[in-house]
Amino acid sequence: MKKIIAALLIVVSIAAIYAGWKVFGPTLSAPEGKYFYISTGTPFQKVKSDLQQQEIISGIFFFDKIARQVKYDKNVKPGRYQIKDGMSLYNLLKMLKSGKQSPVRLVINKLRTKEDLAKKIGQQFEADSLETIRFLASNDSLISYGVDSHSVMTLVIPNTYLINWNSNFRKIFNRLKDEQEKFWNKERTQKAAARNLTPQQVYTMASIVEEETNKLKDKGLIASVYMNRINKGMKLEADPTVKYAMRDFGLKRILYGHLTYPSPYNTYQNRGLPPGPISTPSSETIDAVLDAPTTDYIFFVAKPDFNGYSNFAATYPEHLKFAKEYQLALDELIRKKQAK
């Protein structure tokens, strides 16, 4: 009898150790991509089958038991959850039940269109890209944010944002709006007002400057050219706005035929700034516009040594001189390439 009892105790002990190891031991495997996604409205049974299908858990017996004990089966929370190799079943359920997900790093650098933003959101979040673009294109949706379908991208300040994967687009958009309001602090707002520009206008001008050069030294000077043209009632005649109007961002040279393309964004056809930005400019470029020096420059053209900088001129004859130097250098460069 004692031997039977001892044997039973051994069996029970082994079973307890095994169960403890299955629940608290390093039994889980990381999924491909390291993250496990639970969409909004996913039922418990689907979560369980997905965990098995992705080979994160090897069986459902212990998962089912513990999940029901902690009532996770009644409280599934959507999200993006990071699962590491060697994680325990207990820690997995603890994480899923608490909804402690890993936020997405939304990195916004240069975007040119609303469609670009919608695509990026659709690729990184649960939010649907089609619903996103409908929102961005609807003036009724945007009116409460103080923008319209043309100026909506002025609310997007390039930066890195940590946002939960299952956030709907309105929540994501509200986050972008909050950061935009923080960016436009009292100092920047006052600088804009001193130039008789609104923050939206500064952003739009910065978007053109951003497309013209990546040289910080020239950014403020180019902004001064555009401000001088606006103050004199001249057309901006900015080549990047033609590319944006045509949605042909691969254009290398703007030809005469391109200048007549009908669009409110074509600054060869319309006076003043376009109705919205043509890209999302960096904070560095926005500040370069706000801090642009006072000049009498009206023209600029690339330097003939192709170093990325420009020659600036206050008179047309001076500009023609610089433009001719650049054209001769460009023709020579093309000739050399063709001779190879």
* pLDDT at 1 (0 to 100): 62
R_g of the chain computed on alpha carbons:
30
Model confidence, pTM = 0.88
Question: Residues 6 or more apart from 5 whose CB is under 8 A from it?
Answer: none
Q: Across residues 269-274, what is the average pLDDT? A: 96
For the chain, the average pLDDT equals: 90
The count of other CB atoms within 10 Å of the CB of residue 288 is 24
d(CA 102, CA 246): 40
Model confidence over 115-133: pLDDT tens digits?
999 999 999 999 988 899 9
Both tokens assigned to 297: 């420059």
Residue 25 buriedness (CB in 10 A; 0-12 / 13-18 / 19+): middle
13: pLDDT confidence band, cut at 50, 70 and 90?
very low
Over 60: is that where the pLDDT of 3 sits? no
d(CA 89, CA 29): 10
Over 50: is that where the pLDDT of 322 sits? yes
20: pLDDT confidence band, cut at 50, 70 and 90?
low
| Inter-residue contact 236 to 269 (CB < 8 Å) | no
| Inter-residue contact 192 to 265 (CB < 8 Å) | no
* pLDDT at 11 (0 to 100): 47
Both tokens assigned to 296: 């009498």
| Inter-residue contact 261 to 242 (CB < 8 Å) | yes
Strand blocks (E) in the chain: 35-38, 79-82, 104-107, 160-163, 299-302, 310-313
70: pLDDT confidence band, cut at 50, 70 and 90?
confident
Model confidence over 284-305: pLDDT tens digits?
999 999 999 999 999 999 999 9
d(CA 129, CA 119): 6
Q: What percent of the chain has pLDDT over 70?
A: 92
Model confidence over 209-254: pLDDT tens digits?
999 999 999 999 999 999 999 999 999 999 999 999 999 988 888 8
d(CA 54, CA 58): 10
Over 80: is that where the pLDDT of 24 sits? no
Domain ranges of the chain: 2-98, 108-183, 194-297
Over 60: is that where the pLDDT of 9 sits? no
Residue 6 buriedness (CB in 10 A; 0-12 / 13-18 / 19+): exposed
16: pLDDT confidence band, cut at 50, 70 and 90?
very low
Tally the residues of the chain: 340
Over 80: is that where the pLDDT of 5 sits? no
d(CA 90, CA 92): 5
Of the candidates 135, 183, 133, the residue with the CA atom closest to the CA atom of residue 157: 183
* pLDDT at 270 (0 to 100): 96
Model confidence over 135-187: pLDDT tens digits?
999 999 999 999 999 999 999 999 999 999 999 999 999 999 999 999 999 99
Letter for the amino acid at 268? Answer: Y
Q: Please state whether beta strands 160-163 and 299-302 pair in parallel, antiparallel, or not at all (unpaired).
A: unpaired
23: pLDDT confidence band, cut at 50, 70 and 90?
low
60: pLDDT confidence band, cut at 50, 70 and 90?
confident
